[in-house]
A and B are shown apart, each in its own frame.
Chain A
Amino acid sequence: MNNADPAIRRHIQECPRCRTAYRTIQVLSSGLKEIAAETPPAGLMDDFIAGIHRKLEAGAKIPVDDLQSPGVSGGSKHFRHIMVAAASILIAIGVGWFMSKQISHVQEPAALADDVEYYLQQFDDAAASNPVAVVKGIEYEWAFYENGNAK
């Protein structure tokens, strides 16, 4: 925020909601970078290949059930069929509810969701360089969260 317009900077410092949202973005961004930069402790990789050879020579028995897509291996087929059926019913109910809501709130701005998408993108791309968009986006985002309109 060092390069931000002083008025914007002051607003973010004084407005608790904007400040919280701004700090959230900063923390998320820097936290992800720190995690991505983590490397194994010294020495951990020293005997990596030798360890594999030892396992091979010892006749390692490794489960063979996961040479497929992530997430597919857990749960039985029966359970998945039940879940698919339940999900289908819920989707049908949800579509019905959504359609009725659309009909009763025709004037509700569908563009709101697009705005939120846009400002969320601004957060990611230009949190430091475009503070005006950030502040506007923060206001939208908080309204978005508080109204429970998450997609």
Chain B
Amino acid sequence: MAIGVIQKSKLVSDEELMAAVQQGDREAFDRLVQKYQLDAVRLAYHYVRNWEDAKDLSQDVFVKIFLQADKYDPSQPFRPWFFRVLINHVLNFLDRKKRVPMLSLYRSGNGNAEFNILDAIDSQDPEHQGYTAKQAVWMALEKLSEKHRSVVILHELHGLKEKEVAQILNCSVGTVKSRLHYAKKVLKKILAKEFKTIGVWDEM
């Protein structure tokens, strides 16, 4: 399937578009990019927590799938494959950076002591006011293992069904359910532990 075969007005599947990309069809490629660019950047962001990095990494992955389109099996659904490639690329990036960027957000000004986000939420110090549940959950997410964080990101933050999460992570649906259950439990435990150290928030 090459340029011209895919009519602009015709609805075609991702798999058909990718088959065209395998023939070097830039137009089909651009359509895939348009369709997935926002999802890709958001997903990458949920791993790296930096929008510029997320954008750069997502662009790299699109370049990669264009240059290595032959590695895609058109009989397989495109979306899980694409997200899998993206997550791998992001995890490799984080490996190279020793996975420090997210942690750096939780360090105090002098860069040494661990910065307790919950202290900040409760703090009357104007510099630390404005922290919300979001920051607390980011902190807790960072403490999850990579596997558990991935299921939370894909299922809870991106709303993907367990079956698709399983396809992306190349595991069974049962494993996804189990990881998700465990991850939620651990997240609650982490947050509760932080609560215990500082008392209970009245409002957030």
Contacts and interface: CB of A to CB of B under 8 A. Distances in A.
A51 B204 CA distance: 40
B192 to A, nearest CB: 5
Contacts of B54: 40
Contact of B137 (A32, A39, A45, A63): A32
Nearest to A36: B157
A94 interface: no
Interface stretch (A68-76, A78-86, A98-106): A68-76
B41 to A, nearest CB: 6
A114 interface: no
A67 B71 contact: yes
Given A20-B192, A52-B59, A45 B91 contact: no
A35 to B, nearest CB: 6
Given A32-B137, A38-B45, A48-B37, A56 B200 contact: no
A49 to B, nearest CB: 5
Contacts of B61: 62
A8 B137 CA distance: 26
Interface residues of B, number: 66
A37 B134 CA distance: 10
Q: Chain B CB within 10 Å — which of A31, A36, A38, A69 has the most?
A: A31
Interface of B: 30, 33-34, 37-38, 41-42, 45-46, 51-52, 54-55, 58-64, 66-68, 71, 84-85, 87-89, 91-92, 95, 132-138, 140-141, 146-147, 150, 152, 156-159, 168-170, 181-182, 184-185, 187-189, 191-192, 195-196, 200-201, 204
A72 B51 CA distance: 25
Given A24-B192, A36-B157, A63 B63 contact: no
Contacts of B184: 28, 120, 124
B51 to A, nearest CB: 5
A54 to B, nearest CB: 9
Contacts, number: 165
Interface string A15-40: 01001110111111011101110111
Interface residues of A, number: 50
Contacts of A31: 132-138
Contact of A16 (B87, B182, B200): B200
A73 B59 contact: no
A64 interface: yes
B114 to A, nearest CB: 19
Contacts of A55: 59-60, 63
A73 B45 contact: no
A141 to B, nearest CB: 8
